Amino acid sequence: MGISMKENVIIVGSGPAGYTAALYTARANLMPLVIEGATPGGQLTITTDVENYPGFVDGIQGPEMMTVFKEQAERFGARFISGTATDVSLDTAPFTVTVDEDATYSANSIIVSTGASAKLIGLESETKLMGRGVSACATCDGFFFRDKEVVVVGGGDTAMEEATFLTKFASAVYVVHRRDTLRASKIMQARAFENPKLHFIWDSVIEDILSGNQEVVTGVRIKHLPTDETYEKPISGVFIAIGHQPNSDLFVNKLTMNETGYILTSNGTTTNVPGVFACGDVQDWTYRQAVTAAGSGCMAAIDADRYLAEHHEILSPALNTTA
């Protein structure tokens, strides 16, 4: 397994952050190489309508949006590899990235944009109906459930925040929690209990998400844990709010992270390793929006460009032959 010709910058991951970083580094003549990951385009590829990204008056489908992002970066010379980074060496530049335990690439700078994944219940129907009534982002999708009844799964601050937000649109929001008390902070609990649109289904779990003969959510099957009794409840949407997991395992003990695995950055997108930058949801545990991810991708590209200009000789197209 040999190492390819050295790159200026390798972008690990795609999605709004990675594709935007690719666009900006390509326009800076850095000829970025993008390792797209297991889900090229990131979480937006499992989203249907995107209506809160500026510039798309009539909205746009998530997969189509990511295709447009990628094609725009390709127009300026960004190159893409369909594969998953399985190992990285960040001890000293040039850094190396191994893809699918096969090919190894090296670069003087790395941009990490591997994103984060919503923690899911683990139901087959949950995966099947994701983007078709099942969501992990109330801010993204709440608008589509105006005057409809929805369920929120979870009992922590995230669940209370999502549930409270959804009451702006939904006619009723049912919080399904496996315990008889919430884990959320006292202030979040107080706000939730005072909201007349919020209702609580205690000591219960979602056993299945129903769609009937349709391709959208029509209801849920709820199991009451103390009695093992199950019943079906008609519902239009299911919001999973049991947390997110940053896709940062590859960088454990290599980049500084917080206690939940998000990569820590300072002065923009700079990590603890000079020349390595992080952007998007892998370092953002607060906003988790496509537009903020794209913005941080732009920041990482500019940070990488400035780093390379100061510390390394920029490789020209004639010196680089990586396909």
137, 279, 281, 284: the active-site residue = 137
87, 100, 141, 180: the active-site residue = 141
**137 labelled catalytic:** yes
Picking from 282, 287, 257, the residue whose alpha carbon sits closest to that of residue 272 is 257
Is residue 28 helix, strand or coil?
A: coil
Which pair of tokens denotes residue 160? 């209370």
Which pair of tokens denotes residue 317? 């197209």
Contacts of 169 (CB under 8 A, 6+ apart): 142, 143, 145, 146, 147, 148
102, 140, 228, 249: the active-site residue = 140
**141 labelled catalytic:** yes
Helices and strands of the chain, counted as H and E runs:
7, 19
Q: DSSP strand E in the chain: where? A: 7-12, 33-35, 49-50, 60-61, 79-81, 85-89, 95-99, 103-112, 116-118, 134-135, 149-153, 172-176, 198-201, 204-210, 219-224, 229-234, 237-240, 244-246, 276-278
**Please, what is the Cα angle at 171 between 166 and 173, to 5 degrees?**
50
**279 labelled catalytic:** no
Q: Which positions are catalytic?
A: 137, 140-141
